[in-house]
Chain A
Amino acid sequence: MKVLVAVKRVLDHNVKVRVKSDHSDVDLTNIKMALNPFCEIAVEEAVRLKEAGIATEVVVMSIGPKAVQEQIRTALALGADRGIQIETDTMPESLSVAKLIAKVVEDERPSLIILGKQAIDSDNNQTGQMLAALTGMGQGTFASDVEIQDNEALVTREVDGGLQTVALRLPAIVTSDLRLNEPRYASLPNIMKAKKKPLDVKSAAELGIELRAHTELLKVEPPAERQGGIKVASVEELVDKLKNEAKVI
């Protein structure tokens, strides 16, 4: 069974996000970039399936400029077998991403496709769902557990107020939630070995997909700065502030 994992390059979750002074976008100058944490969980799940003898090959793909090869290498160091980069000048929107992945799915014919439920930069949470629509495959989003039984994937989903388990006929799409697993560290020897694993580069044009923008970014604003706390002298003052300032009671 072949597993395809699609991963995204995003800014490292440890860095403080800085907005450009003209508010046109987030300033990425000199910013440390990393594998999207949900994608990392997706890779880990695929590698565990391989270690359990269920998956036979783990293919990892990423879309974007040459720099995304860094994240593909990270995934290879975590245990994926080979990589595919779909080269684009900028980071395309979700629908284009889903179309490109669908193309790769057509070529590779994986039995299982695992994605992160969302990327921590754009927080769209839609690529997996769009991919399911484009390919006509079943989807198990927000997965906290994945079990493969015969020709089915049993996916436990974290939904409001509890857990739901769905059975998906393979091939199927799973998007990972935070609790699906705890990703390992790539060991130093595996980082070294990752360099020797195959990495194919294809262009979006080669795949016959036209990248289109459906949204326009108007303005980026940082969240309002948090005000420092104060000490209140009495319960009355506290209640008054909660009523009239915070307006929560």
Chain B
Amino acid sequence: MDFELNEDQIAFADMARAFAQNEMEPHAAEWDQEQLFPVEVLRKAGELGFCGLYSSEDVGGLGLSRLDASIIFEQLAMGCTSTTAFITIHNMATWMIDAFGNEQTRQAWCPDLTAGQKLASYCLTEPNAGSDAASLKTSARRDGDDYVLNGSKIFISGAGSTDVLVVMARTGEEGPKGISAFAVDAKAAGITYGRKEDKMGWNSQPTRMITFEDVRVPASALLGNEGDGFKIAMKGLDGGRINIATCSVGTAQAALNKATEYMHERKQFGKSLASFQALQFKLADMATDLVAARQMVRLAASKLDAGHADKTTYCAMAKRFATDACYDICDEALQIFGGNGYIKEYPMERYLRDNRVHRILEGTNEIMRVIISRRLLMQDAAEIL
């Protein structure tokens, strides 16, 4: 077992950090305030390889491991949480098309997606099917060589600005087994987009409702087989949860760095904040929790890479722990900044707002506990090793 980054990972991380520092961090506050989706920066990110990290090489991906991807995303998230989170969703949806699409579908979308020339959204949640995603109602009815989609999706990241939608829709019975997944052209006739949601954070990317009204999708756009859709959606989310947890870790690292600097700079009672033991201990706890969260995320990523039987449980544990712990770190870092922490001139309140949603999406942290406890309490459950 080796806990050190290898030569490649160091080089990847160095480049990602430079990109985050130069291309994202200086603009992150403006993107947040003005609600700008930085498509040009995503294109640049694509040119450097960030848009197809774990997709296959024959469609322009890099074929990297989830662990490599996590190391890279963490550095990017230090520059802009929200934009990086979108890049991770794009990577997840791209991988789903690559891994489960037929050759025609893969070649139609993936080369442009891995290059960042086109963007992808993941469409699972519906107004009446959030945590209980398997109860989704959007229907895909077979009609000749097509499927016809009807229904609506809510809270879709990137919607309205993306080119392809990975849509989970019902082709059969009630429950998870009746669900299929499709790669749908985002501009297909019958698709309408709702207004851009006004959000607490994640403001550098649009979130919208999508309505499907008799949208014809060629049968070739089916990912996997009919009835595989829910499984495919959950496979995407195993990696998605590592990615989102990683975004929390990167943001918390940025918050910790800023708070450490501030403790040296700011003076009260004639001394620097760094000389107050209450704050020293707070900082020590933040750093300790951050390292714990990072290690847990990397462990889950390596379980996923290894195809471990309990990978889903590990991904759920990492997502639950890291997004909670890193939210708290951002909160404590904000506290160290005092009033300045609450003012938008400093990034501390943005870190907190952006990280908050990580405890909600890609499965809420309550649902993570559902996944973990279900595994623990299974009939005659094996120990989790």
Contacts and interface: CB of A to CB of B under 8 A. Distances in A.
Q: Give chain A's interface residue range (CB within 8 Å of chain B).
A: 10 to 19
Interface string B1-34: 0000001101110110011010000000000000
Q: Give chain B's interface residue range (CB within 8 Å of chain A).
A: 10 to 19
A185 B11 contact: no
A187 B49 contact: yes
Contacts of B263: none
Nearest to B62: A188
A195 to B, nearest CB: 7
The DSSP consensus for interface residues of chain B is helix
B153 to A, nearest CB: 32
Nearest to A194: B11
Given A191-B12, A192-B62, A73 B49 contact: no
A189 interface: yes
Interface in A54-100: 70, 73-74, 77
Contacts of A186: 11, 15
Contacts of B19: 185
Given A34-B14, A188-B15, A73 B62 contact: no
A181 to B, nearest CB: 15
B8 A192 contact: yes
Contacts of B21: 14
Contacts of A74: 11, 14
Contacts of B189: none
A187 B8 contact: no
B11 A191 contact: yes
A188 B12 contact: yes
A202 B72 CA distance: 33
B114 to A, nearest CB: 10
B7 A185 contact: no
Contacts of A195: 7-8
B50 interface: yes
Given A70-B7, A195-B8, A185 B62 contact: no
Interface of B: 7-8, 10-12, 14-15, 18-19, 21, 47-50, 53, 62, 64, 72
Given A73-B11, A185-B19, 19 more contacts: A70-B7, A74-B14, A185-B15, A185-B18, A185-B48, A186-B11, A186-B15, A187-B49, A188-B12, A188-B49, A188-B50, A188-B53, A188-B72, A189-B62, A191-B8, A192-B8, A194-B11, A195-B7, A195-B8
Interface of A: 14, 34, 70, 73-74, 77, 185-189, 191-192, 194-195
